[in-house]
Amino acid sequence: MPDRARRSAASSPPVDFARSKGLGRLSLWSGTRDQQCPGGTKPSADATCGSILQDRFASSKAFAAYE
């Protein structure tokens, strides 16, 4: 997965992209993964955490900016 896709959505590019394309909805595929894994980053996907460094619910908070 490209690095830009694995970064936390706390940055504004996903919201900016959705707005520029007029998307009707912006959402996460798994809310349970919207938190950092214990111990930090992981080299692969995990069903219980996001595998990247982030604050809990960072993606949800960033995506909530999209209306």
For the chain, what is the domain count? Answer: 1
Domain containing residue 59: 3-63
Q: What is the pTM of this model?
A: 0.61
Does position 8 have pLDDT exceeding 50, yes or no? no
pLDDT band at 21, cuts 50/70/90? very high
pLDDT > 90 fraction of the chain, expressed in percent and rounded: 24
Mean pLDDT, residues 41-65: 87
Rounded Cα distance, 33 and 45, in Å: 9
Rounded Cα distance, 49 and 31, in Å: 9
Q: How far is CA 58 from CA 21, 22, 25, in A?
A: 23, 23, 18
Cα angle value 40/41/45 (rounded, 5°): 130
